Chains A and B, each alone.
Chain A
Amino acid sequence: MSAPLLRVKDLTRLYGARVGCRDVSFDLWPGEVMGIVGESGSGKTTLLSCLSARLEPTAGSVQYDVRGQGLTDIYIMGEPRRRMLMRTDWGIVHQNPRDGLRMGVSAGANVGERLMAVGARHYGDIRARADEWLGKVEIESERLDDLPLTFSGGMLQRLQIARNLVTHPRLVFMDEPTGGLDVSVQARLLDLLRRLVTDLNLAAIIVTHDLAVARLLAHRLMVMKNGEVVESGLTDQVLDDPHHPYTQLLVSSVLMP
C-alpha cells in the first residue's frame, strides 16, 4: 500500500495554560475523507488550523506527502514552499465564504487568482478555466464577471470551493462548509461536494458539528471533546455504535424531524 497523504503525530496546541487540542495522532490516506465532530469549543477549528499550516502547534508534527519528496514536516519546510503547497496541493474552505474570497473582484478573478499565483499569464486561458470551474460548481457562465457581493450565501460557498479546486489540489480542509445555509441549499452543496470529492479523488478533512454532514461525506470520524480525541473509527461504526459516553450523548442529541 502507498504512503499516507498526511501523518499527524501527538499534535498539541496550547493557549497559555488552556488547551486548544492535545495529543492528536492520525494518518490520512489519499482519497479519504475524515470528519472531525464535537461541540463548539472542543478544539476542532484549532486542530484544523494546525493541520492546514495556519497555526504553529506547541508540540507534535504534521507531515505531508509532498509530490516527489515523500512525507515532509510542513512546519520545517520553510515559508516559500509552504505557501506554494497551500495554493497548489491544498485547498482551504472557510466557514464564512467572505474569509476565503476577495469580495472586491469578480468571480472569474477569484477563481483565477490561484492560477495567476502559480504563473498563468494568459488572460483567455485563465478566464476559460474559471468559466469551466464555475460550471462544475453549478454557477451560470453569465455570472463570471459579477462581484461576489451580488451572490447568495450558497453561491458564495460554491464559488469558494471552485476557487480552491482550480489547481487540482489533493487535500482540502473544510471548516463547517455548510454552516449558515438553509437545508435545501445545504443538501445541494453536500451533493456537489460528494460528487467532486469522488470525481477528483480528493482527500478532505471536514470539521462540522452537524452529524448528518459527517455521515454523508466522511469515511472516517474523529470525535473531539475538551481538545482531545475521545473516539475515532469508521463513520457508520461511530455513529451507529458509539462507545464513549460523550459520543453517545452527541448522537442521541440529534433532532429527528
Chain B
Amino acid sequence: MTHATGYNFAYLDEQTKRMIRRAILKAVAIPGYQVPFGSREMPLPYGWGTGGIQVTAAVIGADDTLKVIDQGADDTTNAVSIRRFFARTAGIATTERTEAATIIQTRHRIPETPLAEGQILVYQVPIPEPLRWLEPRETETRKMHALADYGVMHVKLYEDIARFGRIATTYDYPVLVNGRYLMRPSPIPKFDNPKMHMSPALQLFGAGREKRIYAVPPYTAVKSLDFDDHPFEVQAWDQACALCGATDSFLDEVVTDDKGGRMYVCSDTDYCGRRREAQEAAQ
C-alpha cells in the first residue's frame, strides 16, 4: 500500500519525529518521568488524541501493523479516524486483532488479550500530572517528583475512604512506576492497572496539549497506590457479557430501551467478537 502524496511518511516531518523519539528514549530510560517535548499542531482537536498520534507517528515504520481502540472498541469515530489517518499518510497495514498488531494506540482501555514482547501500546493522555488537582503549581509538582514527595496522594485516597468507605477512584488510578515516579496511567479503568505491571509490551504515553511524554518499559513494576488495610482492588460485575458470556473482561453497561432495560457487554470489541466466533465454530 502506498501513502498519500504531498505528505511525509506518517504526516510529521523527519526532524519532528526525531525530536519526539529523543523524548521517548529519555522517557524509557526514566520510567514514569514526564519528559517535555515540542508538541505539534495535528489535524485533529486537542482531547482527541494529539499526543498519542504524535507518538505513534514517531515510532511507526512501513512494516508495522496498527490497531487503534477507543474505550476498547475498534469501530468508534476516534478509532476509525486515527486508523484511517495512518493508513493514508503512512500506507501501513491496519488490523483489529490485538495479537496481529505491532502498535496499538489506545484511549481509555488496555486490550483484554495479553500483550506480547515486541508490541507497543500508545496511550492518549489528557492530563499527565498525577498531582495536578492536589497541587496547582507546576514548579511545586516538579519538585515533589524530584524529591519523591508523594504523601499528599494518599491524602486523596484517605479522603475517599473517609467519605465512601472505600477507595472510590475508579479510573486514572495513580500508580508508582519502578518504585520511584508517581504516574497517571491516563483514564483507563483501574480494572486495567494490573495489566501494566510487568507487561512484556512497551507502553508509551503522549499528552499533546500538555506537551509531555512518559513511558513504562517492558517488564517494569507498576504498583497501584493503596493502604495496608484497604488494598487495591479492581471492579467486579455480578453478570457475564450478554453477547459472549465472558466473566473476566471489563463490561460496559448499555441502555437498551427507556423502560429500564440494560445489558452488560465487553468493552473490548475484538475480544468479544472473537469469543463469539469461536463459540459459533464450536457448535
Contacts and interface: CB of A to CB of B under 8 A. Distances in A.
Interface string A92-123: 00000000001001101100111011110111
A225 B155 CA distance: 42
Contacts of A117: 149, 151-152
A244 interface: no
Nearest to B150: A117
B230 interface: yes
A23 interface: no
B: interface residue count bin: 10 to 19
A105 B156 CA distance: 8
Nearest to A80: B147
Contacts, number: 55
B147 A109 contact: no
Given A79-B147, A83-B149, A109 B228 contact: no
Contacts of A119: 151
B162 A126 contact: no
A241 interface: no
Interface in B134-159: 143, 147, 149, 151-152, 154-156, 158-159
B162 A109 contact: yes
A255 to B, nearest CB: 43
Interface string A68-105: 00000000000110010000000000000000001001
A108 B147 contact: no
A39 B176 CA distance: 49
A121 B159 CA distance: 13
A123 B229 contact: yes
A124 interface: yes
A145 interface: yes
Contact of A108 (B158, B226, B229): B158
Contacts of B154: 116, 121
B158 A116 contact: yes
A112 B155 contact: yes
B227 A123 contact: yes
Contacts of A144: 162
Contacts of A126: 158
Given A109-B159, A123-B161, A126-B158, A116 B229 contact: no
Q: Which of A106, A123, A124 has the most CB of B within 10 A?
A: A123
Interface of B: 143, 147, 149, 151-152, 154-156, 158-159, 161-163, 226-230
Nearest 10 CB-CB pairings of A with B: A117-B151, A116-B154, A123-B227, A116-B151, A122-B228, A105-B159, A109-B158, A109-B159, A145-B162, A80-B147
